[in-house]
Structure 1
Amino acid sequence: MNSQPFNDVHIHVEDDRTGTTVETLKRALADNLYYIQGKDENFATLYDYYMALAYTVRDRLVHRRIKTAQTYFNRDVKVVYYLSAEFLIGRLLINNLINLGLYDQINQALKESGLNLDDLLEREEEPGLGNGGLGRLAACFMDSLATLEIPAVGYGIRYEFGIFDQEIRDGWQVEHPDNWLRRGNPWEIARPDYMVEVKFGGHTESYTDAEGRYRSRWVSRVTVYGTPYDTPVPGYGCNTVNTLRLWAARASEDFDFQVFNAGDYTQAVSAKTFAENISKVLYPKDDTPQGKELRLQQQYFFVSCSLQDIIRLYLRQHDTFDAFPDKVAIQLNDTHPAIGVAELMRLLIDEYGLEWDKAWDITRRTFAYTNHTLLAEALERWPVGLFGRLLPRHLEIIYSINHSFLTEIQSRYPGDAGKLTRMSLIEEGEEKQIRMAHLACVGSHTVNGVAALHTELIQKELMRDFYELWPHKFQNKTNGITPRRWLLMSNPPLSDLITEKIGDGWLKNLDELRKLEAFVDDAAFRARWRQIKLDRKKLLAEYLLRHNGLDVDVNSMFDVQIKRIHEYKRQILNALHVITLYNRIKANPSLDIVPRTIIFGGKAAPGYFMAKMAIKLINSVADVVNNDPDVAGRIKVAFLANYSVSLGQFAYPAADLSEQISTAGKEASGTGNMKFALNGALTIGTLDGANVEIREEVGAENFFLFGLTAQEVMDLKARGYKPMEYYNSNPELKRVIDQLASGFFSPKEPSLFMCIVDDLLNYDQYMLMADYQSYVDCQEQVSQAFRHQDNWTRMSILNVARMGKFSSDRTIAQYCREIWKVEPVHIELEHYSQERAGLKVQKVVSEVV
């Protein structure tokens, strides 16, 4: 690296402060290194250069962001506010360079300065502000909203510690804090002037106001402050830059001076500790009362901050709330922000004096709710005792909403006590629970699922009573992914080939990928396609050698399952197949099988015992399989530790086979299935979530289908599912289970995997035993198909060509038309002029004087 990279910069005065010429960018890099990092070339580290580059790019984002905000304000547009507990945004530098169209210029500026862009990209800390698909989807949606020029703000929590860093030690997951902010974050802009107060605890008092109306007053016990931090979100190929606004919690007073002077130092900072814990860590374990309380505090904190902010923005241009639903669309991303229904009611009634009926009408016309799960345990419920202790006023409001709602149900369905019980916002029992999904449904004008099958199951099973009452409320919005990050950024060689053949229109209209079908019979094109896949596999193989110490055959099938570790996603079923292949080789060491590299990746929630056991099982099986000379490298097993967005961008392009093997009827949608397919992997999967629609789009002949359908799963359970019958009737399966039970894969602790064995034989909630033989048979079909590489490549091309439906641009366009009723707003950009800016400042100062 050149030790004096900026010495050749030609210093000259130019009017365009945020220009994009190579010379202007070099000057900006030099300025930011010197004036922001406080370094020159003699002392700067690569991280300093990264920070200087990030601020250079941010300057150009800020210019567009200010113009975007001005345009929205001047036109008084309707704005989408997306409330989500997770935003898994990934690294931002490369994303921002591409969306701003600055990649080539920056690359050139760095080369001329003796720097390498790839080196600087690796210096960026990845914000772990999400757990998996929910947060990644929210990030894709923010990208698409900006690309489609839709006025939007994302609201969430600025977690000080994101999703934990995962280490695999002796096969076990070990969690370490993810201190992603330890070196600062150049992309965010603190907005302390928009700080808001959030109250907790205390009690309510009833009173009669000046107009003789009954009112309730919340007398809180604790007040914390929420400070917003804004991250600009640029659209691709346009000037729109929207905002992701994340809230950090802090105490109203850092410490009690009197208590501190009295010597009780711990108690003196207790308020600070309480407040800062709220935005300290993503998803604290909730298997303790303290953990449950902290999760509820987090959810209410960011929702209250966000709603207060939304109202502030609205009231800049409006004197009444009459137009609120016409100017504000609030989307609840799952049940985490569902408390927003009660909070908006509280704000409108208690803080702004609206009558109940008017406030309720505004609330229901403003909110829409996306359901992301069919799993009962994932539908949030809060104990009434905890809720009332933390949010007493909201408990009153929820009881009032429930009373009115149940009165309506009783009138509509007289004598149907079962319906009242099922639909109540309060679940009766030993400990009453507030059903947040019910609150979101009752308080929203639209409820949507995220895949056709998922929406159908919501209507027929999960929320059938609500669907019968309000069929017009329910819609489907099949999820999508942004092609900018998940193909252009993840797989540049494949993107270049596609653009060479069909142009770059696919980046904003993914349906254009259909044009690739014209090349499927072109042998030279197939050869180039196959070579790109091989090159990406080589990169992943190098990663595995470097990080796992595992030498793998790049010509083997890369069979990949990377996603959150969960029983319903059935990583254990995949492991059972690995053991089956191993047993076949041991029985016949000369067996001719298609070589496979089976790659797992994903994190288990810290409190999820069975998910952690799945990780241990995978690594224990890997230890045996990878070190058995009889196997001779024909199958190898790897676990990618510390899976992240960046690692996903690395792994998806290398996959030959995508494992989407959840129990039918359990996965809401999935988006990993889309990322794999968009990068040319073929899918083995059940008819679950978006798999159904992917198969419809790519063609049944290009999809490896196995397993029970959602209806067959329900029917089998209704008849009385007996997993032991599959064990007794299937010798291969019996041997696999017996090996787990005997300690074959855990010789130092023979009973280690008995918890898995007991579950599979006696409960098997996710029906691995029932689907085992179908899965193993389908995997044999996969192997035979992989032997014919030319046809496999044809199938790969067709998978990519037919993925147009699964762009998040399409999903967001449907939300805009059918739920939010918002229109694009085009942003015109003029050059930033220091002289003009100075004149404006003087004008403002003179007006103030």
Structure 2
Amino acid sequence: MKNAKPPVVRLLGDDLASIKEAIGSHLLYTVGKEPINATARDWFMAAAHTVRDRVTEHWMPTLNRYYREDSKRVYYLSMEFLIGRTLVNSLINLGLYDTVRQAITDLGQDFDEVAAWEVEAALGNGGLGRLAACLLDSMATIGVPGFGYGIRYDYGMFTQHVDNGWQVESPENWLRYGNPWEFPRPGVIFPVRFGGRVIHFRDVLGHTRSQWVDAEEVMAMAFDVPVPGYGGKVVNNLRLWSAKSTREFDLKYFNAGNYIEAVRDKNESETLSKVLYPSDMTDRGKELRFKQEYFFVAASIQDILARFRKSHSDWALLPDKVAIQLNDTHPALVVAELMRVLVDEHQIEWNKAWDLVRGCCAYTNHTLLPEALETWSIDLFERVLPRHLEIVFALNHEFLQSVRYRHPGDSELLRRVSLIAEGHERRVRMGHLAVIGSHKVNGVAAIHTGLMKSTIFSDFEHLSPGKITNKTNGVTPRRWLLAANPTLSALITSKIGDGWITDLDKLHKLEPLADDPAFRKAFAAVKRANKERLAAMLSQRLGVEVEVESLFDVQVKRIHEYKRQLLNVLHVITRYGRIRSNPLLNPVPRTVIIGGKAAPGYHIAKLIIKLVNDVAEVINNDPLVGAKLKLIFVPNYNVSTAELVMPAADLSEQISTAGTEASGTGNMKMSMNGALTIGTWDGANVEICEEVGEENMFLFGLSAQDVARRRVDGYDAVAAVKADPDLTWALEMIGSGFFSPDQPDRFRPLVDILTTGGDHYLLSADFPLYMAAQERVDQTYRDPEEWTRKAILNVARMGKFSSDRTVAEYAREIWGAL
């Protein structure tokens, strides 16, 4: 009816009785169970839907308000969103944690057991995805109209098991029991095309037009996940795309009994959203990964423009209403796709379209490693996205022309900045495409941004001074302190109030309490309780008993040579040797915890995991060592495990080769939870040092400039090893087969990398400095009062590293959304 009023939405009750009634109702009507035969998983599903109802109450008004106020929208495109478990985080943000916990208890269930049945969303792998999740939380908390776009992977990268010390991968089927947090949107579906050919013609006005024809089609269907900010009043959206075939099956083949052929097209189409980061070790894997990136980019651009066109007909307003943030190079195809849609489908003049693209797009770089900057072969590009390749060539021609006018005769500069890398195989440089197609490019730590300007993007900095800017990463204090460490959070709040939850700078009020013996005692008791909680998990999951009084020395991150887990192991082996050679030695007891996944095709990283486990097998079973030293590898490290590890860490290992780690966020999480950092002058360590004070950390090693100088001047890795008796002995132990008697030469490749292989990541150069820093760690830990004082100061001075601050800087200085 024309004058019908919108339905009145009755607010759901948040009191204990209403919550209990809602959980019981969902158990019956959503799960289809009665309490007498309901499992803990059933209770979780009922609780999750109860919470989702209350999130949705604020979600719809938030989205309606954005339309009503015609807000500028921020679209954050990322291949990863490592959001972790949602139940507890949503309860905290809604202010319902205590009520729902009590309700489940009153219903005869153990809340912790019920919450533990939530399967972690397998939408990411590492720091890239964890950062994206933190930024979404902060956008909702501070009121930025932010939308995430990604892929709804059927399977995550993999579940990591350890079999005889080796990493073994198995499918991460996180959707096996359904996802209670998502809303399928079968009405939001867009075609995505691949292959085909391009035809060129003149329209009735004589303008040259291009049309992409004869392409294969797959459909992208939306699934929405609401993202509540703290306080629950603002709820933003994470939209994930799932690939659906345009045809279910071929009835001709089905009726003939050829069932596999009947569904072949459907199965091939839907592999696009099947798994996170399919292996690119084969040509088929490379093509699938490339198609994945375009799949979510194309669907997202169609959705963004459809939303824009609901309220605006003037394309000139696009940069005023749309901000698109490219999280690394994976979504860099946005630049070519947005140009294609504007020029080919909406007939916008080329130069005007290019201005619109650059006005909307911004690019976050996450790596200084040239090999990690994506490139795609011209052959693959042309076969899969022929029109986009034409656009890339045209953009490159115009860009190089502008450079040539400003720097005539400098052919080397043209070669370096070209979007096309010439060589044996011509390739499109996606990082370069993202840079020229964005109005701002940012690094994620001050040192990282400085190195971007002086190394990988130095020419672009020279051509467009000021375009590259810094936005130091942050983490959300809601998940990484309030949810992960409730006892410390309660202690903090009891002393300074709860304002720190949304204004982390208020933690500075804790500084005077570092000198208060009573507060130090309470703080130390919290840390011990968190260590007991982690120790119980290690005992239950791995069967390893650890001494809670020992120093918990933690390194948890992706396994990679530049992150230098191997340097950590060399310290452990040296420590082991000293204990063995002098049984009367009374060292500070250490429990060294290492966790992280190695990419399936990364042989050296997997060999490092095997070394960690083989060394652990020897040390943990040596009666002469006992509780003096333990080494533990934690399999399948993920967000849920991190929520146990971060609060329990005494020492945070951040020991990457200077100039290789863009930022790091684990360093922030552990410092925020009262760990002291042992680290190099790399990534955000430098800025943490500026805030916390060098005297409250254990920094060591070469600077990024020292590293670059050694590589230029020449570095004798063999001589560096021979100059250090401890290092020589440790490498001999590894290379001789002491830790691998069944295969004595198993770890010879690791020894060769550090010696005859040139030691690219300079472990040998940093080893003596690392050992000296570890001595300082021991000395400080022997004085519990002093250690605790430093730990409190670490917490108190972490205000800068809230993702709320990071998002506010993006919103003001890049997105124009505050």
Match in the other structure for 2:218:
224
User: C-alpha distance in 2, partners of 1:67/1:83?
Assistant: 24
Match in the other structure for 1:781:
776
Structure 1 segments of 4+ aligned residues over 6 angstroms from their partners: none
Match in the other structure for 2:51:
57
Which amino acid in the other structure matches residue 77 of structure 1? S
Match in the other structure for 1:828:
none
**Aligned residue among 123, 143, 146 for 1:129:** 123
User: C-alpha distance in 2, partners of 1:298/1:521?
Assistant: 54
C-alpha offsets along residues 400-443 of structure 1, whole Å, 9 cap, x if unaligned?
00000000010011000000000000000110010000000000
User: C-alpha distance in 1, partners of 2:238/2:674?
Assistant: 31
User: C-alpha distance in 2, partners of 1:45/1:209?
Assistant: 65
Match in the other structure for 1:5:
none
Which amino acid in the other structure matches residue 174 of structure 2? W
User: C-alpha distance in 1, partners of 2:772/2:328?
Assistant: 37
**Aligned residue among 426, 439, 452 for 2:420:** 426
Q: Does residue 790 in structure 1 map to residue 785 in structure 2? A: yes
User: C-alpha distance in 2, partners of 1:539/1:364?
Assistant: 50
Residues 198 and 223 in structure 1, CA contact (< 8 A), matched pair in contact too: yes
Q: Kindly report which structure 2 residues correspond to 1:445-464, keeping only aligned pairs within 5 A, or say none.
A: 445-464=439-458
Match in the other structure for 2:762:
767
**What is the identity percentage for the equivalent residue pairs of Structure 1 and Structure 2?**
55
Match in the other structure for 1:604:
598
Q: Residue 193 of structure 2: SS of its match in structure 1?
A: strand
Which amino acid in the other structure matches residue 554 of structure 1? V
Residues 507 and 796 in structure 2, CA contact (< 8 A), matched pair in contact too: yes
Aligned residues: 810
C-alpha offsets along residues 306-357 of structure 1, whole Å, 9 cap, x if unaligned?
0000001000011131101000000000000000000000111111111111
Residues 199 and 220 in structure 1, CA contact (< 8 A), matched pair in contact too: no
User: C-alpha distance in 2, partners of 1:756/1:174?
Assistant: 20
Q: Residue 358 of structure 1: SS of its match in structure 2?
A: helix
Q: Residue 694 of structure 1: SS of its match in structure 2?
A: helix
Match in the other structure for 2:314:
320
TM norm structure 1: 0.94
Residues 199 and 223 in structure 1, CA contact (< 8 A), matched pair in contact too: yes
User: C-alpha distance in 1, partners of 2:360/2:11?
Assistant: 40
Q: Does residue 820 in structure 1 map to residue 797 in structure 2? A: no
Cα offset, 1:15, TM superposition: 8.5
Q: Kindly report which structure 2 residues correspond to 1:236-635, keeping only aligned pairs within 5 A, or say none.
A: 236-635=230-629
Cα offset, 1:62, TM superposition: 1.1
Match in the other structure for 1:76:
70
What runs of 5+ residues in structure 2 fail to find an aligned partner? Answer: 1-7
**Aligned residue among 29, 33, 46 for 2:27:** 33
Cα offset, 1:47, TM superposition: 1.3
Which amino acid in the other structure matches residue 330 of structure 1? I
Which amino acid in the other structure matches residue 414 of structure 1? P
Cα offset, 1:545, TM superposition: 1.4
Q: Kindly report which structure 2 residues correspond to 1:161-176, keeping only aligned pairs within 5 A, or say none.
A: 161-176=155-170
Match in the other structure for 1:151:
145
Cα offset, 1:224, TM superposition: 0.2
**Aligned residue among 777, 797, 801 for 1:802:** 797
Residues 55 and 232 in structure 2, CA contact (< 8 A), matched pair in contact too: no
Cα offset, 1:48, TM superposition: 1.4
Q: Residue 606 of structure 1: SS of its match in structure 2?
A: coil
User: C-alpha distance in 2, partners of 1:492/1:645?
Assistant: 16
Match in the other structure for 2:4:
none
Q: Does residue 678 in structure 1 map to residue 678 in structure 2? A: no
Cα offset, 1:472, TM superposition: 2.1
Question: Does the C-alpha gap of structure 1 residues 502 and 335 become closer, same or farther in structure 2, counting only changes over 3 Å?
Answer: same
User: C-alpha distance in 2, partners of 1:261/1:424?
Assistant: 54
Cα offset, 1:777, TM superposition: 1.1
Which amino acid in the other structure matches residue 699 of structure 1? G
User: C-alpha distance in 1, partners of 2:764/2:328?
Assistant: 31
Q: Kindly report which structure 2 residues correspond to 1:92-131, keeping only aligned pairs within 5 A, or say none.
A: 92-131=86-125
User: C-alpha distance in 1, partners of 2:543/2:352?
Assistant: 65
Match in the other structure for 2:192:
198
User: C-alpha distance in 1, partners of 2:188/2:9?
Assistant: 32
Match in the other structure for 1:20:
14
Residues 537 and 554 in structure 1, CA contact (< 8 A), matched pair in contact too: yes
User: C-alpha distance in 2, partners of 1:220/1:743?
Assistant: 60
Cα offset, 1:259, TM superposition: 3.1
Deviates more, 1:438-447 or 1:103-112: 103-112
Residues 149 and 238 in structure 1, CA contact (< 8 A), matched pair in contact too: no
TM norm structure 2: 0.98
What runs of 5+ residues in structure 1 fail to find an aligned partner? Answer: 1-13, 824-849
User: C-alpha distance in 1, partners of 2:215/2:238?
Assistant: 30
Cα offset, 1:712, TM superposition: 0.2
Q: Residue 255 of structure 1: SS of its match in structure 2?
A: coil
Q: Does residue 178 in structure 1 map to residue 172 in structure 2? A: yes
Residues 11 and 57 in structure 2, CA contact (< 8 A), matched pair in contact too: no
Residues 80 and 330 in structure 1, CA contact (< 8 A), matched pair in contact too: yes
Residues 325 and 362 in structure 2, CA contact (< 8 A), matched pair in contact too: yes
User: C-alpha distance in 2, partners of 1:102/1:534?
Assistant: 27
Cα offset, 1:158, TM superposition: 0.2
C-alpha offsets along residues 283-309 of structure 1, whole Å, 9 cap, x if unaligned?
011111111111101100001000000
Which amino acid in the other structure matches residue 120 of structure 1? V
Q: Residue 515 of structure 2: SS of its match in structure 1?
A: coil
Cα offset, 1:43, TM superposition: 2.6
Which amino acid in the other structure matches residue 275 of structure 2? V
Residues 206 and 216 in structure 1, CA contact (< 8 A), matched pair in contact too: yes
Match in the other structure for 1:830:
none
Residues 661 and 683 in structure 2, CA contact (< 8 A), matched pair in contact too: yes
User: C-alpha distance in 2, partners of 1:781/1:547?
Assistant: 32
Match in the other structure for 1:702:
696
Q: Residue 537 of structure 1: SS of its match in structure 2?
A: helix
Residues 374 and 666 in structure 1, CA contact (< 8 A), matched pair in contact too: yes
Which amino acid in the other structure matches residue 165 of structure 1? T
User: C-alpha distance in 2, partners of 1:503/1:309?
Assistant: 42
Which amino acid in the other structure matches residue 434 of structure 2? A
Deviates more, 1:32-41 or 1:338-347: 32-41
Cα offset, 1:738, TM superposition: 1.2
Cα offset, 1:104, TM superposition: 1.7
User: C-alpha distance in 1, partners of 2:134/2:507?
Assistant: 19
Q: Residue 199 of structure 2: SS of its match in structure 1?
A: strand
User: C-alpha distance in 2, partners of 1:530/1:42?
Assistant: 43
Cα offset, 1:592, TM superposition: 2.0
User: C-alpha distance in 2, partners of 1:190/1:690?
Assistant: 38
C-alpha offsets along residues 44-96 of structure 1, whole Å, 9 cap, x if unaligned?
22211111111111111111111011101111110000000000000000011
Residues 198 and 225 in structure 1, CA contact (< 8 A), matched pair in contact too: yes
Residues 58 and 232 in structure 2, CA contact (< 8 A), matched pair in contact too: no
Match in the other structure for 1:46:
40
Match in the other structure for 1:3:
none
Q: Residue 775 of structure 1: SS of its match in structure 2?
A: helix
User: C-alpha distance in 2, partners of 1:213/1:695?
Assistant: 59
